[in-house]
Structure 1
Amino acid sequence: MPVRPRHLLVGASTVIAAVVSLSGCSQKATGGDGSIKVTASDSKCEVSRAEFPAGHLTLDVDNTGSKVTEVYVLFPDGRIAAERENIGPGTKASITAEIKAGDYEIACKPGMKGDGIHRKVTATGKNTAAERSPEIDAAVAGYRSYVLTQAEETLPKAKAFADAVKAGDIETAKKLYAPSRIGWERTEPVAESFGDIDPKVDIREDGLEAGQDPEKDWTGWHRLEKALWQDKKIDDQEKRLADRLVADLNDWVKRVGTAEITPTSMANGAKELLDEVARNKITGEEDRYSHTDLVDFKGNLEGAQKSYELLKPVAAKNNPGLTRELDGQFTALTGLLDKYRIGAAGYEYTSYDKVTEPQRKELSDGVNALAEPLSKLAAAVVK
């Protein structure tokens, strides 16, 4: 679960109507392909230009620093228009997004912690990406319906989990914990795009900001996970947090229908879900108390595959070799994960603390083999 710090959010009042010169930003010319070059270091976020035409945007990111970094394109209200995480030191990455005319911020977050370094930019003119093919419109509509369905189906599962917590039934709550998270994990990039919901429901203790008190400021699934598996007790505070989780997820359901969904956000979101697996599930950091990481892994994989399948008709026309490779890699990774399934159906998997280091390495290699071609999907749908 990538942490979305509250202080990363950009309020609309902080974005001025016209972008002035960017202090600390390089004003290098863009490449001939019209991309924007972003040079991220440990202390700078250099953007090659402050204005660019609305439509299909490509950010070519070069991390020249010594820390892993993240790069965001943020809407004025703080929602995430596009992002790329886990850009290692000395490596490069590309972000393709569909951007409407208006004001934005490009933010680099060295070390993936803290406020990040923000640069104001503007997309000018007509949104040339607005006129889309019927196939693309169908993909976006299909994904919007999928996201809403996943959110709506999560609520009763989360409520059942919360009810068990409030009843003090630790064993039942443990059984309901992982199933209550599947819909969220399938559509996490959309949920995270709102910025303020993810820190309420899915943050881990080490994701809290400096000065935040775990006893007062830590809420959501993982706070209750710790109570159930490590503390082995449910007090009045946990019962209140169970109600709070359901309330925050209700907020998610009400807002998810307003999410900004584009073909490139779908493609980028699929890659982000694989990054989630690589960063948090393979390491065992996500569900460190319950060791139900493989259930989250399955949810992330299913969500990524849904985006891909909806976009595949267009991607196959533009890059048939890519879709053939993706078909094979999705099948291969699903097969690897199924080795740990308990029973022929359902979402019960081997406890992750029983998965050996060589087995984790095999899973990691499978994730990386899929993530590399999946990173090309956004470019394939906007050709």
Structure 2
Amino acid sequence: MRPVRLSVLTAVAAATALTAVTGCAEKSDAKDGGGEGAVQVVAKDDSCEVSKKEFPAGKIELAVENKGTKVTEVYVLFPDDRIVTERENILPGTKAKLTAEIKAGSYEIACKPGMKGDGIRQKITVSGAAAAKRSPEQDAAVAAYRTYVREQAEQTLPKAQVFADAVKAGDLQAAKKAYAPSRIGWERTEPVAESFGDIDPMVDLREDGVEETGKPWTGWHRLEKALWQDKKIGEPEKKLADTLMKDLNTWVKKVGTAEITPSSMANGAKELLDEVATGKVTGEEERYSHTDLVDFKANVEGAEKSYTLLKPVASKNDPKLTAQLDKQFGALNKLLDKHRPDTTSYDFTSYDKVGKDQRKELSDAVNALAEPLSKLAAAVTK
């Protein structure tokens, strides 16, 4: 289960504000309820209606309509709660699409009204020998992305160890300095980490989601609060630093087993932009340290990596889309560069120093990219 990163009211407010500013992906999706063969999912406050519960392996499309009164999420889950694909922040009265490649087996579709709990679930069965065959270009993209994810995880460990060592030494300033760099690899590949279900809440949960998990608050953000708000490091924080390293080592060991497909790469890229829109632009993610722009840049880099690897496939199927994505990635990166003096470093402006107009400018650029990026999964699985 993926934990809530925003309070429900904050999520609704953020998503509504972004929709009002530029017309985000959910609004765009509302124009198209999905193709004739799409599985229709109607999400309500007390139900999750699925038009088909058995369908063949291969490419599937979910056409989601939120007829409830709460912002919702829709997931396709493995039996062990690992995530196959997901779509977050679907506002009341809007529609969204998910495209995924699914092998034969048993799964669940979960709707999460209010983005809380395990969701309202429907069991589904996917039959057939295997998913559709992939092209050599698709195989190359998946192989390269798998290498990238593994490298990002492995490169995170020494940076996180520097952070943990500073915490354990009681060195407040050194720990603050090491905090943001320790998170870059995680933020670049977050959808893969989240697909395991249990790792994400242990290392990246914000205080908002603690009550939902029913477990002690651990991870980066618990230590962030101690460093910037409490301004002290005690024995509990030193123990939490060891716990963080233990959990990150588990992540590194698991990452090579992640289920990766062209559509999961494309959907993951969109998820990273959703993370930016609902957590980084709003300042929710790094509320104590205000290092949101470091996470912001890492999310964009991770999304762009997926896109770049998939571009040879997408450009054949939808050259207009890739031209638009090239333009919007370039524009967003250029805008981010305004907030750091050295474009070779991650020394970004503290987000509490970024004004309202500048935040709007960033949110506009994110939405301009998110809309075409939501179409990438369909373009790489035609």
Quick one: distance in 2 between partners of 1:271 and 1:314? 17
Q: CA deviation at 1:114?
A: 1.9
Quick one: distance in 2 between partners of 1:365 and 1:43? 33
1:93 alignment partner AA: A
| Partner of residue 220, structure 2 | 221
| Partner of residue 168, structure 1 | 170
Matched, 1:371 2:370: yes
Quick one: distance in 2 between partners of 1:282 and 1:31? 29
| Partner of residue 49, structure 2 | 46
Contact 2:104/2:131, CA 8 A, preserved across alignment: no
| Partner of residue 67, structure 2 | 64
**What secondary structure does 1:290 align onto?**
coil
| Partner of residue 154, structure 2 | 152
Contact 1:4/1:198, CA 8 A, preserved across alignment: no
Change (3 A) 1:44 1:342: same
| Partner of residue 17, structure 1 | none
Contact 2:188/2:299, CA 8 A, preserved across alignment: yes
The alignment's TM-score, normalised by the length of structure 1, stands at 0.90
Q: CA deviation at 1:319?
A: 0.2
Quick one: distance in 1 between partners of 2:126 and 2:69? 31
| Partner of residue 119, structure 1 | 122
**What secondary structure does 1:330 align onto?**
helix
| Partner of residue 3, structure 2 | 3
| Partner of residue 37, structure 2 | 34
Quick one: distance in 1 between partners of 2:111 and 2:129? 27
| Partner of residue 90, structure 1 | 93
Quick one: distance in 1 between partners of 2:35 and 2:46? 28
The alignment's TM-score, normalised by the length of structure 2, stands at 0.91
**What secondary structure does 1:38 align onto?**
strand
Contact 2:34/2:62, CA 8 A, preserved across alignment: no
Change (3 A) 1:294 1:53: same
| Partner of residue 8, structure 2 | none
Q: Report the aligned-residue RMSD.
A: 1.4
**What secondary structure does 2:97 align onto?**
strand
**What secondary structure does 2:369 align onto?**
helix
Contact 2:101/2:131, CA 8 A, preserved across alignment: no
| Partner of residue 21, structure 2 | none
Q: Which runs of 5+ in 2 are unaligned?
A: 6-32
Contact 2:85/2:264, CA 8 A, preserved across alignment: yes
| Partner of residue 197, structure 1 | 199
| Partner of residue 302, structure 2 | 303
Quick one: distance in 2 between partners of 1:347 and 1:365? 22
**What secondary structure does 1:286 align onto?**
coil
4+ long deviations beyond 2 Å: 2-5, 30-33, 209-213
Contact 2:3/2:212, CA 8 A, preserved across alignment: no
Q: CA deviation at 1:32?
A: 6.6
**What secondary structure does 1:118 align onto?**
strand
| Partner of residue 318, structure 2 | 319
Change (3 A) 1:286 1:320: same
**What secondary structure does 2:346 align onto?**
coil
Q: CA deviation at 1:3?
A: 2.4
| Partner of residue 82, structure 2 | 79
Q: CA deviation at 1:345?
A: 1.7
Quick one: distance in 2 between partners of 1:381 and 1:243? 41
**What secondary structure does 1:96 align onto?**
strand
Contact 1:4/1:195, CA 8 A, preserved across alignment: no
Change (3 A) 1:278 1:117: same
Write the mapping of 1:350-365 to structure 2, written as runs, cut at 5 A: 350-365=349-364
**What secondary structure does 2:211 align onto?**
coil
2:73 alignment partner AA: E
Change (3 A) 1:56 1:307: same
| Partner of residue 106, structure 2 | 103
1:81 alignment partner AA: V
| Partner of residue 14, structure 1 | none
Q: CA deviation at 1:263?
A: 0.3
| Partner of residue 26, structure 2 | none
Contact 2:154/2:252, CA 8 A, preserved across alignment: yes
Contact 1:278/1:364, CA 8 A, preserved across alignment: yes
Instruction: Work out which structure has the larger RCO, using CA pairs closer than 8 Å and 6 or more positions apart in sequence.
Output: 2
Q: CA deviation at 1:159?
A: 0.5
Quick one: distance in 2 between partners of 1:274 and 1:3? 18
Contact 1:4/1:199, CA 8 A, preserved across alignment: no
Change (3 A) 1:252 1:262: same
* Greater per-residue helix proportion: 2
1:327 alignment partner AA: D
Contact 1:4/1:192, CA 8 A, preserved across alignment: no
Q: CA deviation at 1:210?
A: 4.4
**Percentage of matched positions with identical amino acids:** 72
Write the mapping of 1:237-316 to structure 2, written as runs, cut at 5 A: 237-316=236-315
Quick one: distance in 1 between partners of 2:212 and 2:147? 38
Quick one: distance in 1 between partners of 2:46 and 2:139? 40
Contact 2:3/2:213, CA 8 A, preserved across alignment: no
Quick one: distance in 1 between partners of 2:262 and 2:46? 33
Quick one: distance in 2 between partners of 1:344 and 1:187? 21
Contact 1:4/1:196, CA 8 A, preserved across alignment: no
For residues 75-103 of structure 1, what are the alpha-carbon distances to aligned partners after superposition, in whole Å with 9 as ceiling and x for unaligned?
11110000000111100000000000000
Quick one: distance in 2 between partners of 1:135 and 1:301? 23
